[in-house]
Amino acid sequence: MRRPLALLLAAGCLSAAAAAQTQAVLLPDQDTYVQDTNPASNFGADDLWFGRGSFFGLGNIRTLVQFDFSRFQLDPRLIKSASFNAYQYATEPAAGGLPCELHSATAPWNEMTVTWNNQPAYDAQVWAAADVGDSFGVGLVSWDVTELVRAQVDGTIPNHGWLFRMQFETAGASRLGYFYSTETAPGALFAPLLSVELYEMLLTATPLAAGQAATVMVAGARPGRRVVFAFSTTGLGTTPVPQLNVTLDLDAARPLASDFAGGTGHASRRFRVPAAALGRNYWLQACSLGKLSNVVSGVVQ
């Protein structure tokens, strides 16, 4: 039985104006694997295998996972990070894992009919990699899928799911891990899932031009709360703001301006960009009590 897309921790519909929670956890709509030594077989109701088991006669394995982002109503700019997590409960007897690489599938597939012979094509870009098959590494294995999720949520890359494969399928060492699928997991903690960390406020800014006025704007703030706009000229990093119980994602951040959010949760400030800032890189972020916005960056024109 297929399990529908689930927002396990996020309550209600997440919109561009305001995210209700700081984390959403999604189950796959489809997950399975295909095997070159059983090229006409389908494993849609079985566990997931990740890796390569040629030393044990199990052949090359490619794993397929798909999430339906069309139901995930969220501005991709609010995605702070995303990780795909799967539970490796056993492996072939081998010490030390090898990277299993993640690609974007480029054609539709169905978990109950897909085989090695009819598997979808995939793009050449490696979006993430994680070690699998280490017999001393039983437990959760995570792939950082932040950039791929953003691209598929905003439609830059068509969402036909993901394909995992070993970098070398014709030579070299083999590592194969056995993972629970959505059908076989003994509980929610063991099911494969996508964990998405969300910013709670959406920051936008007009282009910054030296010697000219610019405007920073936030949506999703709590009405009546002060919103502080901050900036950095050195990049991403961490700057604690204990007064607001947040840590900015900026290096050596400094306050730029502040405003109180109106009844709709919007706040904005207009400021003048110094003429001497021409050509400088900048990073902007907003914060309020317990809330952060996304980061906006650019070059002063």
List the domain boundaries for the chain. Answer: 23-198, 202-299
- How many of the other CB atoms lie within 10 Å of CB of 121? 10
Going by their DSSP bridges, the two strands 291-292 and 296-299 should be labelled as: unpaired
Per residue in 47-100, pLDDT (tens digit) is 999 999 977 789 999 999 999 987 767 789 999 999 999 999 999 988 899 999
Tell which CATH architecture fits domain 202-299: Single Sheet (2.20)
H-run or E-run covering 286: strand 281-288
Q: Spell 4-29 as b/e; 16+ CB within 10 A means b.
A: ebbbeebeeebeeebbeebebbbbbb
Report phi then psi at 232, rounded to 5: -140, 145
pLDDT, one tens digit per residue, over 106-161 is 999 999 999 999 999 999 999 999 999 999 989 999 999 999 999 999 999 999 99
Query: Which residue, 288, 143, 266, is CA-closest to 215?
Result: 266
CA separation for the pair 162, 157 (Å, rounded): 11
Three-state DSSP at 54 gives: helix
Q: Which residue has the tokens 């982002």?
A: 69
The torsion region of residue 27 among left (phi > 0), alpha (psi -120 to 50) and beta comes to: beta
CATH architecture of 23-198: Sandwich (2.60)
At residue 246 the predicted structure's pLDDT band, cuts being 50, 70 and 90, is: very high
Angle formed at CA 253 by CA 247 and CA 255, multiple of 5 degrees? 100
Tokens of 189: 């903690």
pLDDT for the residue 11:
29
> 98 with 125: CB under 8 angstroms?
no
What does the DSSP assignment read for 218-259? EESPPTT-EEEEEEESS-EEEEEEGGGTEEEEETT-EEEEEE
Burial class (CB in 10 A: 0-12, 13-18, 19+), 170: exposed
pLDDT for residue 172 is more than 90: no
- Tell me: the pLDDT tens digits for 183-200? 999 998 899 999 999 999
Q: What is the mean pLDDT of the chain?
A: 90
- Quote the tokens at residue 14: 């997440």
- The rounded distance, in Å, linking the Cα atoms of 125 and 37 is 26
Q: Which amino acid is at 31?
A: D
